[in-house]
Structure formats: C-alpha cells, structure tokens
Amino acid sequence: MRAPDRTTPFLSETRTGGSLVRRLDARAKILGMIGFTMVVVTTPARAVWAFVLYAAVLAFLIGLARLPLRYVLKRALVVVPFVLVVAIFLPFFHKSGAGGYSLGGARVTGEGLLVLWNAGAKAVLGVLSMIVLGSTTTFAEMVSGFERLRAPNVFILIVSFMYRYSFVFVEEALRMQRAMASRNYRARWLWNVPTLGHMLSALFLRSYGRGERVYVAMLSRGYEGTVRLGNGTAFGLAETVFLGTILGLVIAIRVSASLWGAG
Amino acid sequence: MPGSYPTLQPVPHSPPPPAVEARDLHFAYPDGTAVLRGVDFTIQQGESVAIIGPNGAGKSTLLLHLNGILRGTGDLRILGLPVETKNLREIRSRVGVVFQDPEDQLFLTSVAQDVAFGPANMGLEKDEVETRVKDALAAVGMGGFEDRAAHHLSFGQKKRVATATVLAMHPEVLVLDEPSSNLDPKARHQLVDIVRGLPVTKIVVTHDLPVAYELCERALILAQGRIVADGPIEAILLDTGLLAANDLELPHGFALPYSLERGAGSCSGMMTQRMT
C-alpha cells in the first residue's frame, strides 16, 4: 500500500537487501566511513600506492554491501564538477616548477598535476565512502545513529526536519507549477523571472506557516525542547569487528605511507 | 470547640470536573482582530461534542485554546485545571489534539518515531513508550508500518498515523480539527469508526455536518466568535433556519438516518438553546 514516489525521485532511498553491512548498527558505519575519509584526506599525495590500497578497502566494502557497481559509479559522478574546477584552475597554480606540459600559453606544472591528483583521488575516495554509508543506512537510522553518537539535538532536529519536509516542499512546488501550467503559463525567459520570484516567495510563506503549525503540533504533544528519537540496534560484535577492521586497515596504510615515504 | 480532636469530615462525593469549562473567553490576535468575543460553554467528561461553524468563525482559534497554545482572557478550565503556565504540561498530556493536516503532525523520519514523540515527552519509560506505539498503531489499523517514512504513506494513512500519535498519549479529551478534510469516503469511514470506538471525551471541530453527526451527540455552533446555539446534534441539524443563519447546511439530500430511531419523542422534547 505504498504510495508511488513519482513526485520526489531526487531523494529516494536505496536499500540494498539484507546484506551484512545493511544490518549493522548505524554508529559503526558512520564512525567507520567518516574515519576512513579523514585518514585518506591526511595521506600525502605522493604515496600513490596508499591510495590504491584505500581503493581496495572500499572495493571490498562495496562488494560486502552488495551494491550494484553501476549505481555506485553513477552516484560517484557528483565529484566530476568539483574535480573539473580544480582542473580549470590548474594553470594558475605554482607558476614555476619542473615537469608538466604546455597548453598554448598556459603551462601546467608537475606540482599542479600533483594538486589535481591529490584533490581528485581524495574526492573520489571520500564520495565513495559516503556512498557506501548512505546506501546501506536509511535516513532514520542515520539520524538516530548520530543522536546516539551525542551529536547536538538541534543539529539532529534540523537535519531530520529538512529531510522530512523536503518532500512536502517539492510537492507544493510541483502543485504550484501545475496550477500555473493549467492556466496556460509558459515559461519564457523574461517573464519567467518575476513569476519565479512570486512562486519562491509563496513557497517561503507557506513553509513559514507550515513551520508554525508543526511547532504548535509539537507543543500540543508536550514538546519541551528535546526530541528523543528512541532506540536502535545495539553495538555488538559485528559492529566492533567492522569498525576495527576498517579503521585498523586504513590507519596501517596511512602509517606505512608516512614511514616509507612516497612509493 | 477548642481542645476537641479533629473530626473526620465526610468526603463529599464530588462529580468529576467538566472536560472543558469556558466562561466569557475572549481572544484577539496581536493585530487587534477579535476572534473570540465571549465564548461560554461546558463540556462534561464522556461527552462527544461537535463545534461547528462557518469559515472564520473562530473554530481553529478556540481549538488552540483547549490545550493552552493560545491563551485569551476569561476563565477557561480543562479537566478542572485552570489554563496557566504551570498546568500546561499536564493539560497537554491529558488533552490530545489531532490537527487538520497530518503533514504538520508527522515530522520525524519514521512512523514509530512520530508516535513515540508524545509519550517520550511525557517522560515514560522506554518499554512503556514502545508498548504504546504498538497499541496506538494497532488501534488505527496501522500496525506493521512502524519503520515507514511518513512521505511514503497515503493521505488517509497519514491521517490515521497522526491520530495514533495522539492516542499513544492516552488522552482523556480528544480534540479533532476537521477530521474528514481531504479524506475519501472509505478513509473517512475508517477514521469515524476508529474515533467512535474510543472511550474518551471527544470534541470535533468541523464544518462537515455529516461527520459531526456521526461522531457526536451534541453540537455547539460558533459564529462570529460566540456560541450561538447549543443542543443535541439532531435538533441542531434539523433546524434548517438556524443552520442557514450561520452559513451552514447539510449536504443536499442528506437525511439524519437515526433521527427516528433515537426517538421522535425525545427529538421533539429536545431543547436547543439559542443564544444571541
């Protein structure tokens, strides 16, 4: 009896079956994947082999979580604009330096390429680790995981409200758009701007009113400043092994990268 | 008599305090618009009362007074408690309000979290909260939906879950704001059946007269910030002149199905109090 999610494809949750990673307590995954990303970011760029090993750890996790490769790669595309921006500004890094190549008047140095590699590799690994976290953990689990990791209540509330009401908001925007289209409104560039402005202000006012009504409904149920989202799964042996293995592996790689220098 | 030992006073058998007792309640919004202009009524515990009135009569404003969200001047007692800051916590756990738009009431990431919100605010133990969540969802026929996100439910389902979020607090007074709005006939029947079966005081704020009739035994008409009529719901709904004077009407062709059954005799004997 699930209402089709056709209006809000942009935030649909992916749950991948009953894989082991999927069932783990959210805290283990949050700490594991954020820890992973932090260690990766601190790794010196010249230790190329360390990045290869990190990628291997991630590949193992993706396999363990049974995430479809196509899906992972598609989602990983979000890093492209970011890396492109770095690439565009490459010629302006480190004016002097050996290596590299010339593109017409602009000269890309070896230093510059290293910066691109550094940003690119770290961005890709970071995004992939967040994909592993995001596709094996539902939003509710994630929020309750952060809550039990003692994240500030206000932060938790803002995030969960944003998520919850983004659906309502998008639906309202769509309804407004349909109502305009039904009256033969066609978007033309110059007309579009004032109408868009009105639409946005209407949406803002609606959200503002909605916010007040939600708050009243919360007060009516005895809200006094904190929301306890209740319990989740326990942090057991599987979680300890998962977290220990990931952090152990990446820290070992990171330490080796420092001890033996760039490969 | 000095020196004599105190005698035990017989405890007078006092009737339970009324669920709602409003005396000369006034309320104006900060911009000066007067919405309630001297509202007087009493609702006893166990009653089911419809507060009907046209748009803009002040129904929603009155509703928000019933648990102290808005506070006007005049005397208002809920279950015998004056509506004062120190009583708000107790009043809000004993009066449950189901708002018109379930989107406003379901704001967390799963159905179970939303239903647990009220009981958790009451400071109940974890086990007790879980039991209440389960029971409340079962009571509205939404058992098994605990882990669903609200945005995946149909409107009727959202409405039922919103009702469960209030039932989980075990309120003594249940206030429903336009319970039938936007519901299809099936969803409306489901909701009516659920609400009818609840052994609590019910206050239904609506302009949907058939639903008011299905849920309530008594009706108050609120118009221009005052209670202008108070009586058994049949008497009110049969008084077409009264309804028309207050911009209300039964749907065309609607007949009160039980009016004969409930007794023409009692119907003719019913007194509608008209106030002006």
Task: Tell me the DSSP string of A123-175.
Answer: HHHHHHHHHHHHHHS-HHHHHHHHHHTT--HHHHHHHHHHHHHHHHHHHHHHH
Q: Phi and psi (nearest 5°) for A146?
A: -60, -35
Confidence of residue B139 (pLDDT cuts 50, 70, 90): very high
Contact B259, B234 (CB under 8 A): yes
Residue A5 lies in a domain: no
Min distance B269 CA to chain A CA atoms (Å)? 39
Among candidates A165, A228, A167, which has minimal Cα distance to B112? A228
Q: State chain A's mean pLDDT as an integer.
A: 82
Give residue B261's pLDDT: 44
How much is the pTM? 0.75
Whether A156 and A202 map to the same domain: the answer is: yes
Residue A225 lies in a domain: no
In which region does residue B83 sit, left (phi positive, over 0), alpha (psi from -120 to 50) or beta (all else)? Answer: beta
Token readout for B108 is 């967390």
- With CA atoms as reference, the chain B residue closest to A225 would be B121
**Per-residue burial over B242-255, b = 16 or more CB atoms within 10 Å of its CB, e = otherwise:** bbeebebeeeeeee
User: Chain B, 198-227: which have a CB under 8 Å from a chain A CB?
Assistant: none
> Three-class SS of residue B28?
strand
Mean pLDDT for A26-43 is 95
Percent of chain B whose pLDDT exceeds 90:
69
Residue A204 lies in a domain: yes
Report the 10 Å Cβ neighbour count for B153: 21
Whether A109 and A192 map to the same domain: the answer is: no
Residue A207 lies in a domain: yes
DSSP state of B56: T
Mean pLDDT for B124-134 is 93
Q: Is residue B28 within 8 angstroms of chain A, CB to CB? A: no
Mean pLDDT for B7-19 is 76
Q: List Cα–Cα distances, A36 to A110, A245, B3, B188, B234, in angstroms.
A: 28, 11, 83, 52, 70
Mean pLDDT for A119-123 is 91
How far apart CA B83 and CA B96 sit, in angstroms, is 15
How far apart CA A245 and CA A47 sit, in angstroms, is 22
**Chain B interface disruption, residue of A220, A224, A228, most B CBs within 10 A:** A220
Question: Which residue has 């942009």 as its token pair?
Answer: A10
Q: Is residue B110 within 8 angstroms of chain A, CB to CB? A: yes
How far apart CA A28 and CA A242 sit, in angstroms, is 7
User: Chain A, 146-185: which have a CB under 8 Å from a chain B CB?
Assistant: 160-161, 163-165, 167-168
User: Chain B, 141-170: which have a CB under 8 Å from a chain A CB?
Assistant: 147-154, 157, 165-166, 169
Token readout for B23 is 């005396």
Whether A101 and A49 map to the same domain: the answer is: yes
Whether A112 and A239 map to the same domain: the answer is: yes
Whether A120 and A242 map to the same domain: the answer is: yes
* Residue A222 to residue B165, Cβ atoms within 8 A: no
- Residue ranges and CATH numbers for the domains of chain B are 20-103+173-251+258-274 (3.40.50.300)
Residue A227 lies in a domain: no
- Cβ-in-10-Å burial (0-12, 13-18, 19+) of A253 comes to buried
Question: Which residue has 């283990």 as its token pair?
Answer: A28
Lowest mean pLDDT among B49-53, B55-59, B163-167: B55-59
Whether A84 and A43 map to the same domain: the answer is: yes
Between the ranges A140-149, B255-264, B265-274, where is the mean pLDDT highest?
A140-149
Contact A260, A46 (CB under 8 A): no
Among candidates A136, A213, A140, A163, which has minimal Cα distance to B113? A140
Number of independent structural domains in chain A: 2
Evaluate if residue A8 carries a pLDDT over 50. Answer: no
Q: List Cα–Cα distances, B265 to B126, B219, B268, B269, B270, in angstroms.
A: 53, 19, 5, 6, 9
- Cβ-in-10-Å burial (0-12, 13-18, 19+) of B164 comes to buried
Whether A33 and A130 map to the same domain: the answer is: yes
Give residue A121's pLDDT: 92
Kindly list the residues from chain A whose CB atom is less than 8 angstroms away from the CB atom of residue B107: 160-161, 164-165, 214, 217-218
Q: List Cα–Cα distances, B262 to B78, B217, B257, in angstroms.
A: 30, 11, 10
Which residues are B202's β-sheet partners? Answer: B48, B174
Give residue A27's pLDDT: 93
Give residue B47's pLDDT: 96
Lowest mean pLDDT among A40-49, A130-139, A223-232: A223-232
Kindly list the residues from chain A whose CB atom is less than 8 angstroms away from the CB atom of residue B158: none
Whether A156 and A249 map to the same domain: the answer is: no
Mean pLDDT for B68-89 is 93
Question: Which residue has 């509703």 as its token pair?
Answer: B63
Mean pLDDT for B229-235 is 95
How far apart CA B219 and CA B204 sit, in angstroms, is 9
Report the 10 Å Cβ neighbour count for A232: 16
Give residue A12's pLDDT: 44
- ipTM for the predicted complex comes to 0.74
Whether A32 and A103 map to the same domain: the answer is: yes
CA angle, residues A219, A221, A226, in degrees to nearest 5? 65
Residue A2 lies in a domain: no
Contact B231, B272 (CB under 8 A): yes
Expressed as residue numbers, the domain containing A30 is 16-137+233-259
- With CA atoms as reference, the chain B residue closest to A8 would be B151
Whether A156 and A133 map to the same domain: the answer is: no
Token readout for A166 is 């983004």
pLDDT digits (tens, 9 = 90+) for A166-219: 888 888 888 888 877 777 676 666 667 777 788 888 889 888 999 999 999 999
Among candidates A101, A107, A167, which has minimal Cα distance to A139? A167
Evaluate if residue B251 carries a pLDDT over 90. Answer: no
Q: State chain B's mean pLDDT as an integer.
A: 88
What is the number of CB-based contacts under 8 A between chain A and chain B?
A: 99
Give residue A5's pLDDT: 38
Min distance B49 CA to chain A CA atoms (Å)? 20
Give residue B6's pLDDT: 58
Give residue B159's pLDDT: 94
Backbone CA torsion sign across A150, A156, A160, A163: negative
* Residue A140 to residue B147, Cβ atoms within 8 A: yes
Evaluate if residue B7 carries a pLDDT over 70. Answer: no
Between the ranges B12-21, B155-164, B259-268, where is the mean pLDDT highest?
B155-164
How far apart CA A38 and CA A26 sit, in angstroms, is 18
Percent of chain A whose pLDDT exceeds 70:
81
Confidence of residue A247 (pLDDT cuts 50, 70, 90): very high
Confidence of residue A111 (pLDDT cuts 50, 70, 90): confident
Whether A245 and A208 map to the same domain: the answer is: no
Kindly list the residues from chain B whose CB atom is less than 8 angstroms away from the CB atom of residue A214: 104-105, 107
DSSP state of A190: H
Residue A191 lies in a domain: yes
Candidates B109, B129, B154; nearest CB to A140: B109
Candidates B103, B120, B122; nearest CB to A230: B120
Mean pLDDT for B206-226 is 94
Among candidates A139, A232, A206, which has minimal Cα distance to B108? A139
Whether A31 and A116 map to the same domain: the answer is: yes
